[in-house]
Amino acid sequence: MAKEECKLHIAMFPWLAFGHMIPSLNLAKLIAQRGHRISFISTPRNIDRFPKLPPHLSSLITFVKLPLPLTEHLPEDAQATIGMPPNKVPRLKNAHDRLQDSITHFLQSSRPDWIIQDFAAYWLPDIARNLGVRSAFFSIYLAATVTFSGPTLTVDSRKKPEDFTVSPNWVPFPTKVAFHHFEVLRIFDSLSGADGAKPATQSFLEVLRGVDVVAIKSCYEFEPEWFQLLEDMHKKPIFPVGVIAPKLEDNANQDDDKWRPIKEWLDKQAERSVVYIAFGTEAKIRNDELTEIAYGLELSGLPFFWVLRIDDDSELPEGFEERVKGRGIVCTTWAPQMKILAHDSIGGFLTHSGWGSVVEALLFERPLVLLTIDTDQGLNARLFEEKKIGFPIPRDHQDGSFTRQSVADALRLVVVMEEGKVYRDKAKEMSRLIGDRDMQEKYIDKFLAHLTAHRPPMDAKDQDGN
């Protein structure tokens, strides 16, 4: 077979959240660098908001715009979860499910070898199989999280919130990986389907059951026991594809006007003294939590840079910004997170425990202080705590409450105190793993070797005459 004939055509269809689309796009770039063709599927508005492709990849990655069907009580421009109230997300999921006909038509006309999909398109593996297209699930979630979502070969009897606060009975080793009660309550409508959309756990299981291969944005070296358990549970190939860490140089010359004043302030701070605080683009902090975080930062005495998304319900304590003037900055617009985390003055990162943000922090040896807010973050935080790369702010496991003093104490422990040295040392160790580009390349090569070896035969793709 000629070398060019070995190249794959891969379609990719991530869930309509930028925390899913951007990692999928980064994976697409790694695949396209090896000469494979990518058809990247999303809605028009999402695609228009993606970063520009590097010139050398623009001929290999084609964006496929599928308009989202009009849905009652869902604004026409609402094509992603960003900026969307939580009660509207189920409507977006239901609109997303109505893309089935468009996806089917695309697969029939373009005949990719594989489609790499997300957890939400529970209906896609059957469509792909019927058309002779192989399917893979790309999980932006850790292997531990995918394991927690449930088994595909045995029954998952979890029904009540309390059932999700303990390690599942299919996990044979001791672990802290489970939700706290308040974390389950915040997402239980999504887990159970009470929000009017397909239950998230069922979507996960139907996708895991239906696809040919599972690819996970993680590495075996970080969570070997979970990868092994996943293979045992699902009896199909499970591939780590690496942490897909971004490169600082990718946006080195972007947003200089925004970065310059931030850098000037950071340059004045002592090395490893500043706390960076950010909770992602979509996490919603309650105002009582916001108040305790603000007072905790004040009590800690540490310099800080806080990227805070303010809305109509958010309000900082009266006089807070005046009292911390010079020592702390509250940034209410977008900030260049990678550049900030890379700066020598950053000594710790107060985070919601999102895996993407954590990868960026560990790349630059930044120890973590953990404060979960939503989705899979509780499971992530337990794993990070277990592996000593993050210290959780103590809080009530039933209602999630915490105090300003606990915020201050946790920040000081991780950034400056001797007891926190274990977290600082572990962050340095993890930086070597996260930043290992050779390992990343090998993971992608191994995954693609499998996809190439198991591409559908031509007669399967041509079975209906195309």
pLDDT bucket at 242, cuts 50 / 70 / 90: very high
What was the pLDDT predicted at 371?
97
Tell me, yes or no, whether 218 and 283 share the same domain.
no
pLDDT tens for each residue of 9-34: 999 999 999 999 999 999 999 999 99
Tell me how crowded residue 154 is: count the other CB atoms within 10 A of its CB.
10
In a domain, 466, yes or no: no
Tell me, yes or no, whether 144 and 175 share the same domain.
yes
Tell me, yes or no, whether 139 and 173 share the same domain.
yes
Rounded-to-integer distance, Cα 433 and Cα 439, Å: 8
Tell me, yes or no, whether 309 and 392 share the same domain.
yes
Say which residues have a Cβ less than 8 Å from residue 370's Cβ, sequence separation at least 6.
351, 353, 381, 384, 385, 390, 391, 392, 393
pLDDT tens for each residue of 292-320: 999 999 999 999 999 998 777 778 999 99
Mean model confidence pLDDT for the chain: 93
Does the structure show a pLDDT above 50 at 461? yes
Rounded-to-integer distance, Cα 273 and Cα 120, Å: 41
Does the structure show a pLDDT above 70 at 340? yes
Which residue range forms the structural domain that includes residue 127? 3-245+436-460
pLDDT tens for each residue of 166-193: 999 999 999 999 999 999 999 999 988 8
Tell me, yes or no, whether 368 and 334 share the same domain.
yes
Tell me, yes or no, whether 266 and 138 share the same domain.
no
Residue of higher predicted confidence among 75 and 381: 381
What was the pLDDT predicted at 460?
56
Whether residue 121 contacts residue 17, with contact meaning beta carbons closer than 8 Å, is answered with no
Question: Tokens 């105190």 sit at which residue?
Answer: 417
Closest alpha carbon to 332 in 410, 256, 258: 258
User: Of all residues in the chain, what percent carry a pLDDT higher than 90?
Assistant: 82
Phi and psi torsions of 280, nearest 5°: 80, 175
* Tally: H helices and E strands in the chain: 19, 13
What was the pLDDT predicted at 435?
95
On the CB side of 426, how many CA atoms lie within 13 Å of its CA? 19
In a domain, 128, yes or no: yes
Domain count along the chain: 2
Q: What separation in angstroms does the CA of 319 have from each of 304, 315, 440?
A: 17, 11, 47
What was the pLDDT predicted at 297?
97
In a domain, 465, yes or no: no
In a domain, 175, yes or no: yes
Whether residue 393 contacts residue 182, with contact meaning beta carbons closer than 8 Å, is answered with no
Tell me, yes or no, whether 441 and 430 share the same domain.
no
Tell me, yes or no, whether 253 and 168 share the same domain.
no
Strand partners of residue 80:
none
Strand partners of residue 42:
65
Tell me how crowded residue 73 is: count the other CB atoms within 10 A of its CB.
8
The pTM (predicted TM-score) of the whole model is 0.93
Tell me, yes or no, whether 172 and 253 share the same domain.
no
Region 139-158: what's the mean pLDDT?
Answer: 93
Phi and psi torsions of 326, nearest 5°: 95, -40
Rounded-to-integer distance, Cα 421 and Cα 187, Å: 34
CATH number at 450 reads: 3.40.50.2000
What was the pLDDT predicted at 303?
98
Tell me, yes or no, whether 159 and 304 share the same domain.
no
What was the pLDDT predicted at 255?
65
Tell me, yes or no, whether 329 and 347 share the same domain.
yes
What was the pLDDT predicted at 386?
96
Question: Tokens 């009470």 sit at which residue?
Answer: 194
Does the structure show a pLDDT above 70 at 4? no
Rounded-to-integer distance, Cα 292 and Cα 309, Å: 16
Does the structure show a pLDDT above 70 at 203? yes
pLDDT tens for each residue of 355-397: 999 999 999 999 999 999 998 999 999 999 999 999 999 999 9
Task: Give the H or E element holding residue 214.
Answer: strand 213-216
What was the pLDDT predicted at 2?
38
Tell me, yes or no, whether 209 and 304 share the same domain.
no
